[in-house]
Structure 1
């Protein structure tokens, strides 16, 4: 039976090579038939709202039977993390992969609705494998954001990358490798 992967995309347009769509394409190709990568279009990605995206996540990540693997890119990563640390869960996914995830409140963006509460990492169970990916040449989310997450989430494995920009148009082989490894460990 294929492993379900839920991919939550970045803000902005998501079609025809825009936003997270190249990353999703490469992820599907790299993981192959043993995985089902679901990449739903979130509500109004050009004008994102935490409440609208949260309502979608309630449907996509049932508290009693979540997808095994969660992947979030940029805003999608921060929304996934906020949602998971603020909701009650009966069952947790096996792994959470966050790619180019902004730490809200450090740039001049109106972000209060997306900011994490103090001590958010304590809400994550020890059984949840968390990996953070950030490229040094990201033109949208500075490399400093990875250091902030690493400090706040000592249980997470950080994966600094030299290249890939913000959207990883040529894919992210490290992510494919790590998703495969996380499934093998759990079998």
Structure 2
């Protein structure tokens, strides 16, 4: 099984500790490519996500953070080719189109993930980058998601990666 970590916007360096902690806790490689931070279009990020998916193979789990999490959700809702991943574990996912957040990345009306795809949504209440109310909006849109609210940890999940690794581990069995 392969693991793909999709970093946040401008966060390739900032998110390295998250991917490294997952590698350490899970004892497996976690791929983390550099997504095109100079081109924040969904098309550019989808192209890299597709390239990574094809390189890693069909037995894949996706972990996404912030903007990267939202791109994984958007891609899985339409335009995904090949076998579905074993699941998604998403951290601090923005709900685009809500107050002040660009609608160009919004999930379309009637959005649904493929049936049976496990989804874990993690968010820290003290996140000062993506407000925790984004989690509530996503949970309402995706009623099958397992929702994990952490009291502390901020946007970079300080002290919370054990819980994230536990959910990623559930996708292995």
- Calculate the TM-score normalised by the size of structure 2: 0.91
Pairing of 1:66-105 with structure 2 (within 5 A): 66-105=58-97
| Structure 2, unpaired ranges of 5+ | none
Quick check: 1:30 aligned with 2:25?
A: yes
RMSD: 1.6
The corresponding residue for 2:16 is 21
1:60-104 CA-partner distances (Å, limit 9, x unpaired): 224xx4352001100000001101111143411111111000001
Q: Which residue is equivalent to 1:9?
A: 7
Alpha carbons of structure 1 residues 175 and 13: separation in structure 2 relative to 1, 3 Å: closer
Q: Deviations over 1:97-126 (max 9, x none)?
A: 1100000111324x23311101212xx222
Contact 2:58–2:82, Cα closer than 8 Å, also in 1: no
Deviation (angstroms), 1:51 = 1.4
Is the CA contact (8 Å cut-off) linking 1:23 and 1:170 kept in structure 2? Answer: no
Task: Give distance in 1, aligned partners of 2:98 and 2:168.
Answer: 29
Q: What is the aligned residue count?
A: 171
Q: How far does residue 13 in structure 1 lie from its aligned partner after superposition? A: 4.3
Q: Check conservation: 1:22, 1:168, Cα contact below 8 A.
A: no
1:26-68 deviation digits (Å, cap 9, x = unpaired): 1111111xx220000101x255221111111121224xx4352
Unaligned residue ranges in structure 1 (runs of 5+): none
Task: Write the distance in 2 (CA, Å) between the matches of 1:171 and 1:28.
Answer: 15
